[in-house]
Amino acid sequence: MSQKAKTAITPTRAENFPEWYQQVIKAADLAESSPTRGCMTVKPYGWAIWENMVGIFDLWLKEYGVQNCSFPMLIPVSFLSKEAEHVEGFAKECAVVTHHRLEADPDGNGLRPAPEAELEEKYVVRPTSETIIGDAMARWIQSYRDLPLKLNQWCSVLRWEMRTRIFLRTGEFFWHEGHNAFADHEGAKGDCLHVLNLYEKFFTEYLAVDGYMGVKTPDERFPGANETYCIETMMQDGKGLQACTTHDLGTNFSKTFDIKYQTKDGGEALCHTTSWAFTTRMIGALIMMHGDDDGMIMPPRIAPQQVVILPVLKGDNDAGIMAYCSEIAAQLKEKGIRAKVDEREMRTPDKMWDAIKKGIPLRVEVGGREMEEGVVTYVRRDLGRESKTTQAREEFVAGAIGVLDAIHDDMLARVRSFRDVNTHEGQSLGDVIAHFDKNKGTGFMKVPVAVLKDSAFAAVTKDLSLTTRCMPFVDDGQTVLIAKAY
Amino acid sequence: MSQKAKTAITPTRAENFPEWYQQVIKAADLAESSPTRGCMTVKPYGWAIWENMVGIFDLWLKEYGVQNCSFPMLIPVSFLSKEAEHVEGFAKECAVVTHHRLEADPDGNGLRPAPEAELEEKYVVRPTSETIIGDAMARWIQSYRDLPLKLNQWCSVLRWEMRTRIFLRTGEFFWHEGHNAFADHEGAKGDCLHVLNLYEKFFTEYLAVDGYMGVKTPDERFPGANETYCIETMMQDGKGLQACTTHDLGTNFSKTFDIKYQTKDGGEALCHTTSWAFTTRMIGALIMMHGDDDGMIMPPRIAPQQVVILPVLKGDNDAGIMAYCSEIAAQLKEKGIRAKVDEREMRTPDKMWDAIKKGIPLRVEVGGREMEEGVVTYVRRDLGRESKTTQAREEFVAGAIGVLDAIHDDMLARVRSFRDVNTHEGQSLGDVIAHFDKNKGTGFMKVPVAVLKDSAFAAVTKDLSLTTRCMPFVDDGQTVLIAKAY
C-alpha cells in the first residue's frame, strides 16, 4: 500500500464527510457553536464571506427595482394564526416571547421572567416575514399605480431546530427575504423566474457553484405557495442542498391579509405575491462543494482575502523582504485585488498552513532569492501544495486577475463535472431502489416524472431517506431528481 | 398681522414640536409604527438613509482594523445574571423567550406557547451584546499576540420601552456595536477617543450635524463603564440628544467573563475592554435638527436621492422634455450623484410637494422653455421654495456637486450657529433654575463642574426634568452642560 499523504484536515472527506465538514469550519476559523442553543457565532472570516455575498447581490436587487426596508423581528402570534396553512409548515417551532421583564429570582438563582410582566399578546421571533409584510402591503397598496411593489430585507430569522449544524441548519440564520406584489399571475411568475435567474448568475459568476434549476414537486413546495422554484446543488458526498427558492404565492397571502388594489377601470382585484431567499447555508454549500482534505477553497470572487503574501524570513535582509512584499501587496490592491501580507508573529510553515486551511485562492511566497531576482513564487490553492509557479514580479502583478479568474473557472468546471458524473439516469422506482439501496449509491438520480405516480413512491423514498429535489427546467419538467439531501 | 404662509406640515415646529416630528416622518414616508408593540417598520426611504450611514461608517471601521462578525440575537438569561451591575441598568426590560413551540389553543383561540415546550434555560432578545461577546473573547484571546481584538456587529437590539417614538425610542432599533479588547488602559482609552473622533468626523462631514464632544458625569455613565464619552447634539426645540457613546469598560467585563491574556513575559493579565455605538436614533436627530415647516431636509451626502428632476408637462412636446430630463439625470449620475427623474403618474405640483416633504436637497424643474433654451431651473431645498436659479444645463451639471457641497456646508453652519446661540452660560444652580424654571428657557446651559457638588443639584434637576449631558472637551472638563433631553 502507498503511504498516505498527510492532510491538514482529519478526518478526510472519504473517511467521514460530516466530521470533515466541522473540522474545516474550525480550521478556517469561519464560525463556532454559541452558548445559545442551536445558534452559531459567525467569526470575522466567515462573516466577511456573507458581507461579500450581500454586497454584490444587493446591488443586483436594487437594479431590478427592489427597495430594501425593515420590519420588526418580533411577530404577533395572532398573525401566524391567520395563516393556518403557513403554521402547519415550519412556523410552530420558533422562539416564543411571553414576558417583557426579568427580575431577581426569589430562589436566589439569578434572574427569571417577572410573572406580572407576562404579555397578553405573545410574539415569536420571525421564522419568516410573509405575515407582517403582508399586513403592511395591504395598507401600502391602494391602486394599480402602486404596483409592482418590490420589497426586501436583509436580516436574520429563527426557527427552533432540534438537530443543528453550523451554516447548514441553525436556529438563527441570515438571509434576505424578498416580498413582491404584482397585479397579476404573469407579473408574479415573471418575478420568480427573473430572481431565480439572478441567483443562478450569482452562484455561477461569484460562487463557482452550479446545480439544477427547476420547480419543486407539490409535496416539496413552500406552505402557501402555488409554485416553488429552486436551484438544487450537489455536495461532494453526493447529497443535495437547496441553494435558493422563489415562491409564487398566487393570491393565497393576499386573501388572508387583504392585499387588494384598485384596477385601472375602477374595479378591485387581489394582488399576486411572491417571496424568495438565499441564506447563510450557502457558506456551508461552498465548503462542501469546494473544500478538500486540506481545508477550505474559497471561490476567488467572494473570498475575503484573494491573495496572501508570505514573507519567508531567515534573519538575512528581513526588512528588505518585508518591503518587497508590501510593494507587491500595494500593486495588487491598486488593481482591486484583496491582497495582504501576513505580518503576524508566527512561523512561516504555520502561516502557510493557515492560508491553506482558510482556502485563500492565491498564496505568494517571497524569500531572499525572490527579492533579489525580482520574482515571486505563487501557489494556486485549488491546484494543491505542489503547484508552484515562479514569475517575474511585474508579470505576476499584471496577470494576477487572470489567475484568479482561471481559479474561478476551474472551480466551476470541477463542480459541473462532479454534478454531471454523479447524476444517474433511471426509468423506474426499481432503478431508484437498485441505485440507492443499502447506502450503496450516491449522487442524484433522474427519473421520468411518471415515477412520482408509483403507488410505492412515498414509502420507498421515505425508507431510503430520499427526497425529490426538483423537476429540472433542462428537461422541461419531464423528469424529477431524487437524492438524499441536507 | 401678516398672513401666515401655508406650510406643508401641520402643525409647525413652533406650534407643537413633537407632533410636527411625527408628521414629518409620515409626510416623508420614512417609517411607521408596526403591529409589534413599540417597534417601527422602517420604510424604503428611511431605510436607505440607514444603509448610506452604514456604508460609509463601516468602511472607516474596517480601515481602523475592526472586524465585523455576528453573535446570536438570543442571549441566555444566565449571562445577564453574571453581570449584576449591567442588569441594574436597562437590561431588565427586555423580550424574554420562554418557549420553543406554538400549538393550537385548546380554547380555539388561535395559537399559544406549548406548555411542554417551556425552555429550561430562558433567553432574552439582546438588549446589547457585552455579555455574549465577553464570553467569546475569553475563549478567543489567549496571548498578547491576540490583542488588540476589535470586533463589531451591525444588528438590531431590543429593549422593552414603555413610551416609544419612531427612531428616537423604539423597542427594536438598529445600531452597530463595537466591542474591543486591549492589553492596557492606554489602549482602551485611545480606542474610545479614536472612535469618538470618527463619529464626529462622520456627523460633521456626512450628516451636517455637530454638537458637544465630551465625557459623561459619573451618574450618566453606561452601567459597568469607568468612563463614557459622547457627542451631545441640540434639537431645534432646544432639547439634547445623545448622538453616540464610547465606553471605557476598564477590566469590569474582563473580570466577570474572565477575559485574560498571557503577557510577553509569561504572566497573566486582564484585558481592558471598550464598547461603542450609534443607532437609528440619528435619523430622528436629522429630522429634528434639519427639518423645517415644509418637512424633512436631507443632508446631501447621506440623502437617498440627492437630485430630483421634475418634468413639467403640458401636452406640448412631452416626449422631448422627458428625454431632456433623462439626459440630465444620466449626466449627473455619471458624476456619482444620486439623481432621478420623477416619472410617476401624478400632478406636477404633487410631485413638487412630495420632493419638498422628503427633503430632497436639489429639485430641478424642466418645462418646455428650459428644454428649448438648454437651461435648467433648480431650487435648493434648504433655502426654500422661492430660491430659484436658472442656469445653462452644462453649467448646472458641471457645478452640481458644488451646489450639494454648499447645501451641506450651509446646513452644518446653521446647526452650529443654532447650538452656539442656544448654549447659555451660568455660574450656579440658581442660574440653572432662573433659566429653566416654569419651562421658560430652552437650549443648553453650561455651568462650572462645581455646580454638580451643590447638595440641591439632584433635586433641582429632577424637578425641572433636566439632565447633565456631558462635560465638554472644549472646556477641559471644567464645565458641565445641562438640558432637557430625548
Angle at B31 between CA B30 and CA B33, to 5 degrees: 160
Of A40, A47, A98, the CB nearest to B99: A98
Residue of B nearest to A95 (CA): B100
A-contacting residues of B 42-61, CB under 8 Å?
42-44, 46-48, 50-51
With a CB cutoff of 8 Å and minimum separation 6, the contacts of B298 are B49, B286, B290, B304, B358, B359, B360, B361, B381
- Grid cell 428649448 is found at B372
Helix or strand or coil: residue A407? helix
Distance from CA of A81 to the nearest CA of B (A): 5
**In the structure grid, which three cell numbers stand for residue B222, read together?**
453606561
Q: What is the average pLDDT across A354-370?
A: 96
The three-state (H, E, C) secondary structure of chain B, written as one string = CCCCCCCCCCCCCCCCHHHHHHHHHHHCCCEEECCCCCCEEECHHHHHHHHHHHHHHHHHHHHCCCEECECCCEEEHHHHHHCHHHHHHHHCCCCEEEECCEEECCCCCCEEECHHHEEEEEEEECCCCHHHHHHHHHHHCCEHHHCCEEEEEEEEEECCCCCCECCCECCEEEEEEEEEEECCHHHHHHHHHHHHHHHHHHHHHHHCCCCEEEECCHHHCCCCCCEEEEEEEECCCCCEEEEEEEEEEECHHHHHHCCEEECCCCCEEECEEEEEECECHHHHHHHHHHCECCECCCCCCCCCCCEEEEECCCCCCHHHHHHHHHHHHHHHHHCCCCEEECCCCCCHHHHHHHHHHHCCCEEEEECHHHHHHCEEEEEEHHHCCCCEEEEEHHHHHHHHHHHHHHHHHHHHHHHHHHHHHCEEECCCHHHHHHHHHHHCCCCEEEEEHHHHHCCCHHHHHHHCCCEEEEEEHHHCCCEEEEECEC
What interface predicted TM-score (ipTM) does this complex get? Answer: 0.95
Distance CA A432, CA A427 (A): 8
pLDDT in tens, B55-105: 999 999 999 999 999 999 999 999 988 865 555 544 489 999 999 999 988
Of B35, B68, B111, the CB nearest to A81: B111
Q: Could B42 and A69 be called an inter-chain contact, meaning their C-beta atoms sit closer than 8 Å?
A: yes
User: Which CATH number fits the domain A17-290, given the four candidates 3.30.420.40, 3.30.930.10, 3.40.50.150, 2.80.10.50?
Assistant: 3.30.930.10
Pairs of CB atoms within 8 A across A/B: 196
Residue of A nearest to B174 (CA): A70
Distance CA B382, CA B294 (A): 10
pLDDT top residue among B442 and A408: A408
B-contacting residues of A 62-101, CB under 8 Å?
67-81, 87, 91-101
B-contacting residues of A 114-133, CB under 8 Å?
117, 121-125, 132
Of B81, B94, B110, the CB nearest to A77: B110
Instruction: Tell me which of A29, A86, A88, A97 to substitute to probe the interface with B (most B C-beta atoms closer than 10 Å).
Output: A97
User: Which amino acid makes up residue B435?
Assistant: H
pLDDT in tens, A149-207: 999 999 999 999 889 999 999 999 999 999 999 999 999 999 999 999 999 999 999 99
Q: Does A344 touch chain B (CB under 8 A)?
A: yes
Distance CA A246, CA A232 (A): 12
**In the structure grid, which three cell numbers stand for residue B32, read together?**
411607521
Residues of B whose CB is below 8 A from A42: 69-70
What CATH number should be reported for the domain whose range is A307-410?
3.40.50.800
The rounded percent of chain B whose pLDDT value lies above 90 is: 90
Residues of A whose CB is below 8 A from B67: 44, 47-48
H/E stretch holding A74: strand A74-76
Identify the CA nearest to B469 among candidates B453, B447, B454, B450: B447
Q: B448 forms bridges with which residues in the sheet?
A: B479
- At residue A439 the predicted structure's pLDDT band, cuts being 50, 70 and 90, is low
Q: Could B102 and A77 be called an inter-chain contact, meaning their C-beta atoms sit closer than 8 Å?
A: yes
Residue of A nearest to B345 (CA): A145
What CATH number should be reported for the domain whose range is B18-79+126-290?
3.30.930.10
Distance CA B460, CA B457 (A): 5
Within A252-387, strands assigned E span 260-262, 268-270, 272-277, 307-311, 339-341, 362-366, 375-380
Instruction: Output the average pLDDT for chain A.
Output: 95
- At residue A4 the predicted structure's pLDDT band, cuts being 50, 70 and 90, is low
Distance CA B30, CA A149 (A): 16
What CATH number should be reported for the domain whose range is B307-419?
3.40.50.800
Q: Could B76 and A102 be called an inter-chain contact, meaning their C-beta atoms sit closer than 8 Å?
A: no
Of B41, B94, B158, the CB nearest to A71: B41
**In the structure grid, which three cell numbers stand for residue B107, read together?**
380554547
Distance CA B216, CA B16 (A): 30
Identify the CA nearest to A207 among candidates A297, A332, A293: A297
Q: What is the average pLDDT across A290-311?
A: 98
Residue of B nearest to A113 (CA): B96
With a CB cutoff of 8 Å and minimum separation 6, the contacts of B91 are A102, B80, B124, B127, B128
Q: Could B73 and A156 be called an inter-chain contact, meaning their C-beta atoms sit closer than 8 Å?
A: yes
Distance CA B284, CA B28 (A): 12
Asked if residues A199 and A192 have their Cβ atoms less than 8 Å apart, the reply is no
**In the structure grid, which three cell numbers stand for residue B328, read together?**
440630465
Residue of B nearest to A45 (CA): B69
How high is the pLDDT of residue A365?
A: 95
Q: Could A345 and B145 be called an inter-chain contact, meaning their C-beta atoms sit closer than 8 Å?
A: yes
Distance from CA of A175 to the nearest CA of B (A): 13
For residues A297-308, one letter each, b for 16 or more C-beta atoms within 10 angstroms of the residue's C-beta and e for the rest, the string is bbbbbbbbbbbb
Distance CA A152, CA B69 (A): 22
- Grid cell 418575478 is found at A191
Identify the CA nearest to A126 among candidates B172, B78, B153, B71: B172
H/E stretch holding A33: strand A31-33
Distance CA A254, CA A273 (A): 7
Identify the CA nearest to A245 among candidates A195, A209, A205, A284: A195
Identify the CA nearest to A257 among candidates A137, A412, A360, A115: A137
Residues of B whose CB is below 8 A from A91: 102
Distance CA B251, CA B227 (A): 12
How high is the pLDDT of residue A85?
A: 52
Residues of B whose CB is below 8 A from A37: 121
Asked if residues B314 and B295 have their Cβ atoms less than 8 Å apart, the reply is no
With a CB cutoff of 8 Å and minimum separation 6, the contacts of A315 are none
Q: Could B43 and A73 be called an inter-chain contact, meaning their C-beta atoms sit closer than 8 Å?
A: no
How high is the pLDDT of residue B384?
A: 87
pLDDT top residue among A13 and A3: A13
Distance CA B20, CA B12 (A): 6
Residue B106: asked if its preceding bond is cis (omega within 30°), the reply is no
Q: Which residues of chain B have pLDDT under 50?
A: 1-3, 89-91
Q: Could B81 and A111 be called an inter-chain contact, meaning their C-beta atoms sit closer than 8 Å?
A: yes
Q: B447 forms bridges with which residues in the sheet?
A: B480
pLDDT in tens, B415-443: 999 999 999 999 999 999 999 987 678 99
Q: B103 forms bridges with which residues in the sheet?
A: B112
Asked if residues A112 and B122 have their Cβ atoms less than 8 Å apart, the reply is yes
Indicate if the pLDDT at residue A82 is higher than 90: no
- At residue A2 the predicted structure's pLDDT band, cuts being 50, 70 and 90, is very low
Within A227-271, strands assigned E span 227-234, 240-248, 260-262, 268-270
